[in-house]
A and B are shown apart, each in its own frame.
Chain A
Amino acid sequence: MTEAVIAEGLVKTYGSIRALDGLDLAVPEGSVLALLGPNGAGKTTCVRVLTTLLQPDAGRAQVAGIDVLRRPRDVRKVIGLSGQYAAVDEYLTGYENLDMIGRLYHVGRTAARARARGLLAQFRLEDAADRPVKTYSGGMRRRLDLAGALVARPQVLFLDEPTTGLDPRSRTDMWQVLADLVAAGTTVLLTTQYLEEADRLADSVVVVDHGQVIARGTSDELKAQVGGEVVEIVVADPLRLGDATRVLVTVAGGGGPTVDEHVRKVSVALKGDRPAAPVLVESLRELDAQGISVRDVAVRRPTLDDVFLTLTGHAAEEPTGDAELETAGTR
């Protein structure tokens, strides 16, 4: 399969911060790759390099077979970019925004108009088409921004955190829109800090932290690295959480426990394909024997959250305070 995007050894430093530290990735044509990582991991910087907005200090990149550093202008003809902040002009109407972008892609006046109307219909923005974007909701702006990235029917689409800041409904909407695009065969590189999003949309996932790739594979492969099913137990009495943890670890026989004192929850990932039900039953029996009352139990498939925690030792979705760092570093 031909690679639509190739990045090799990308390095970008800002003072002492290495935003990209030898990052490699490849996206096969017609597939979706999710760049997953916490704020400040270098996801946005990577997209900015691949979309010609930023010169890396070292490394090489190709998009649709075109050298990004040597022929940035030719790359711009075949890509679409939708950023983290909806980059649409709020004083223009939705139609005017798309028409302008079409004109700047040099598709011709008539084609630009037709394409603008077509995209507005496709993204369910027809009713708002002739209203200034100022009056749009966040979800509508994001859809319009994505429509802008699609004006020239790009071969490769870059989406930088397409759903960050959207409410759950708009997010689901957006996922549907993206799923349709992917079904139509567009190559997509998207960044996200939502594990569920990568899980849902991407053929393969690249996990980044501190500007480096720390894991890659399909989301199932990544989950396999972490282990099998996860058994979770919530105890009623916070003081007994330690005892419960010991019981669960003993019964499960391995796998580091994850303890969340705040919600009095302990969870353990089971090794390989060991079935969870017997472990759960035995644990409950033992907990009961020790007089530890249980509020809630669950068995679940590992999420990419577990993957991230295992790989980096810290959670993927960090408090928003770090967003400042990313903004200062990459914009």
Chain B
Amino acid sequence: MSVLTQSLGDGAVVAKRNLIKVKRVPDLLVFTTLSPIMFVLLFAFVFGSAIPIPGVNYREFLMAGIFAQTVVFGSTITGYSLAEDLQKGIIDRFRSLPMSQSAVLVGRTTADVANNVIVLVVMSITGLLVGWRIRTSILEALGAYVLLLLFAYAFSWVMAYVGLAVRAPEVVNNASFIVIFPLTFIANTFVPTTNFPPVLKAFADWNPISSVTYAARTLFGNLPAGAPEPTAWPLQHAVPYVLLWVVGILVVFVPLAVRQYRRAASR
């Protein structure tokens, strides 16, 4: 058996384990889907009533941003769960088995994708109910979803590394919140960045989350009518820029996370 097929085979076994947990503890899924629904409704009706964006209904503008924020937060489950497995000694058990060294991480990050798919479906339905519309083709919309999931997938490898390095589930949660929350807010996710102070504007322009959002917004056809073309390069080339980040993150964090996995339990 080649290394790759074994890694995928073992990864599938571990992913199945993680998905069974979702089934056994439905509260988990309920809360991961409830909070995005809450976000959609809060932003749509509270902020939406105060943020006029010329050329588009705010609820349409909003959805791509909320999608991006939610899937990135979704990928933190990886960090939390790995830290928990480490604490409970389950990683020790896995490491004493003749299985692929990357399988636990492959399985965990893959399970996150499944989670994110479910969450995206629920949010999309909520969005459609409050007036969001896909104004392009099915194909382009699918492209947007795939891009969101890809970015989130790459990000879960960052979280895998963090979870294994930090080793305390609660700390992983708090730490990731402190980092990810601003990251998803200093971007074009919820408001246009035109009036940001220069430093924030520059940050937002190069923030990959802005590019994910911008690309998804474009692919869903939710850009404000008559909005000027973006001047920042990452937004002009949003899709390649995001893909570049995805590849970059994977190249750096897959080996880092696997190395950390090998060492994590060895202390």
Partner-B contacts on A (CB < 8 A): 14, 48, 51-55, 73-74, 76-77, 79, 81, 83-92, 96, 100-101, 103-106, 132, 148, 330-331
Q: Tell me if B20 and A106 are in contact (CB < 8 A).
A: no
1/0 per residue, CB under 8 A from A, across B74-103: the answer is: 000000000000001110111111110001
Give every chain A residue within 8 A of B21 (Cβ-Cβ).
Answer: 89, 91-92
Q: Tell me if B92 and A101 are in contact (CB < 8 A).
A: no
Q: Tell me if A104 and B10 are in contact (CB < 8 A).
A: yes
Complex alpha-carbon distance, A90 and B14, angstroms: 14
**Closest Cβ of chain A: how far from B156's Cβ, in Å?**
20
**Closest Cβ of chain B: how far from A92's Cβ, in Å?**
6
Q: Does chain A have a CB within 8 A of B8?
A: no
| Chain A CB within 10 A, most for which of B1, B16, B24 | B24
Give every chain B residue within 8 A of A53 (Cβ-Cβ).
Answer: 92, 95-96, 265-266
Q: Tell me if A85 and B89 are in contact (CB < 8 A).
A: yes
Complex alpha-carbon distance, A310 and B99, angstroms: 45
User: For residue A77, which residue of chain B has the nearest CB?
Assistant: B98
Q: Does chain A have a CB within 8 A of B135?
A: no
Chain B contact surface mostly:
helix
- Chain B interface residue count, CB cutoff 8 Å, equals 26
Give every chain A residue within 8 A of B17 (Cβ-Cβ).
Answer: 89, 92, 96, 100
Q: A76-B98, A100-B13 are in contact. Are A148 and B93 (CB under 8 A)?
A: yes
Complex alpha-carbon distance, A86 and B90, angstroms: 8
Q: A91-B20, A91-B24 are in contact. Are A76 and B266 (CB under 8 A)?
A: no
Q: Tell me if A87 and B98 are in contact (CB < 8 A).
A: no
**Closest Cβ of chain A: how far from B115's Cβ, in Å?**
15
User: For residue B16, which residue of chain A has the nearest CB?
Assistant: A100
Q: Give residues 1-55 of B contacting A (CB, 8 Å).
A: 1, 6, 10, 13-14, 16-17, 20-21, 24-25
**Closest Cβ of chain B: how far from A45's Cβ, in Å?**
10
- A81-B96, A83-B89, A92-B24 are known; give 11 further A-B pairs, CB within 8 A: A53-B95, A55-B266, A76-B97, A87-B89, A87-B92, A87-B93, A89-B17, A96-B20, A100-B13, A104-B99, A132-B24
**Closest Cβ of chain B: how far from A138's Cβ, in Å?**
14
1/0 per residue, CB under 8 A from A, across B115-128: the answer is: 00000000000000
> Which one, A52, A87, A101, A331, contacts B267 given CB within 8 A?
A331
**Closest Cβ of chain A: how far from B101's Cβ, in Å?**
9
